[in-house]
């Protein structure tokens, strides 16, 4: 991962950074010398992580923001201020509800859609524009295998992840020519505190030994950032697995569409 700071620095913003995969992105980017803006709701874990990372000699800023709130994107932009954000990682995105569609409150489903769709879209737009002006940068959004098709019990979650898949594939084709790397990191079951909490809430057995480690997932995401638009956890680039079509085939598909589209001709 050498050259990360030159390619994606001097600042990276991580939305959903206080624990799990988000905290691992932070640790790995700090080790590469990037300064960090860390976002989550809980102040305690954010402050502790910031102190840990500052000891390595980088600058760290934290902001407690609810990404499901209507003002989330404005507050994300404010947290960065005039700092040059060369990488935006949107990690927050799990479904904390653990119930079927009709058993959940509509307000909870609205929050999930706001955080996973509107905040992701707004953050990509805000930071993407700044990156385009500089001619370099990276946008990395954490996804889930449910983006490829509905699964009972996680309908709204899956729908938001399908939204993100479509958005990120399109942005990859639009923004690659202007120097911005775009990756949708399609994760499988991963050992994170949030995943553990919802598993236990549902009365299911917690089996972390069957799951990916958050550190390995974050490492893969950063390694594959220049090779979007998607990376499926546990699958080679040309392997479809549960994804129906492979990452390589999806890349070819969107490249072919982009090459013949009026957008490409305009650009």
Ligand X SMILES: NC(=O)c1ccc[n+]([C@@H]2O[C@H](COP(=O)([O-])OP(=O)(O)OC[C@H]3O[C@@H](n4cnc5c(N)ncnc54)[C@H](OP(=O)(O)O)[C@@H]3O)[C@@H](O)[C@H]2O)c1
Chain residues that interact with ligand X, rule: CB under 6 A:
16-22, 40-42, 45, 65-68, 91-94, 96, 115, 142, 144, 187, 189-190, 192, 194-195
**Bridge partner list, 247:** none
Nearer to ligand X, 7 or 18 (CB): 18
Question: Is the CB of 86 or the CB of 98 nearer to ligand X?
Answer: 98
Rounded to whole angstroms, the Cα distance separating 88 from 74 reads: 15
3-state helix, strand, coil split of the chain in percent (to 5) is 55, 15, 30
First-to-last C-alpha distance (Å) of the chain:
31
Shortest spacing between CB 179 and ligand X, in angstroms:
26
Smaller CB separation from ligand X, 5 or 214: 214
Instruction: Please give the angle made by the CA atoms of 97, 101 and 104, to the nearest 5 degrees.
Output: 45
Nearest-CB residue for ligand X = 93
DSSP 8-state class, residue 6: H
Q: Please state the closest distance from residue 19 (CB atom) to ligand X, in A.
A: 5
Cross-strand pairs, 61:
37
Min dist. Cβ of residue 233 to ligand X (A): 8
Contact 243, 145 (CB under 8 A): yes
Hey, what are 12's tokens?
């990276």
Q: Are 189 and 210 in contact (CB under 8 A)?
A: yes
Minimum CB–partner distance for residue 6 and ligand X (Å): 27
Nearest partner of 165 among 151, 178, 146, judged by Cα:
146
Residue number with CB closer to ligand X (190 or 246): 190
Residue (115 or 251) nearer to ligand X, CB: 115
Q: 15 near 3, Cβ under 8 Å?
A: no
Least distance to ligand X, CB of residue 86, Å = 21
Min. distance of Cβ 114 from ligand X in angstroms? 9
Considering beta carbons, is residue 5 or 235 the nearer one to ligand X?
A: 235
């Amino acid at each position: 991962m050498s050259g990360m700071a030159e390619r994606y620095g001097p600042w990276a913003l991580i939305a959903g950074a206080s624990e799990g995969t988000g905290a691992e992105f932070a640790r790995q980017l700090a080790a590469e010398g990037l300064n960090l803006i860390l976002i989550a709701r809980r102040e305690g874990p954010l402050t502790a992580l910031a102190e840990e990372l500052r000891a390595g000699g980088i600058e760290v800023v934290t902001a407690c923001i609810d990404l499901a709130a209507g003002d989330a994107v404005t507050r994300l932009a404010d947290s960065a201020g005039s700092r040059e954000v060369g990488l935006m990682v949107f990690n927050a995105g799990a479904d904390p509800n653990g119930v079927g569609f009709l058993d959940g409150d509509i307000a909870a489903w609205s929050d999930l859609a706001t955080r996973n769709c509107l905040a992701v879209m707004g953050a990509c737009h805000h930071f993407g524009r700044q990156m385009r002006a500089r001619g370099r940068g990276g946008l990395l959004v954490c996804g889930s295998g449910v983006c490829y098709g509905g699964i009972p019990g996680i309908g709204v979650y899956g729908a938001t992840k399908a939204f993100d898949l479509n958005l990120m594939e399109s942005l990859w084709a639009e923004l690659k020519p202007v120097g911005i790397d775009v990756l949708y990191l399609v994760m499988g079951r991963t050992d994170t505190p949030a995943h553990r909490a919802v598993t236990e809430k549902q009365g299911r057995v917690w089996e972390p030994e069957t799951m990916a480690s958050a550190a390995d997932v974050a490492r893969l995401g950063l390694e594959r950032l220049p090779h979007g638009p998607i990376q499926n956890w546990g699958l080679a680039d040309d392997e479809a697995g549960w994804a129906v079509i492979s990452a390589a085939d999806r890349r070819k598909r969107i490249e072919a569409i982009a090459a013949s589209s009026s957008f490409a001709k305009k650009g």
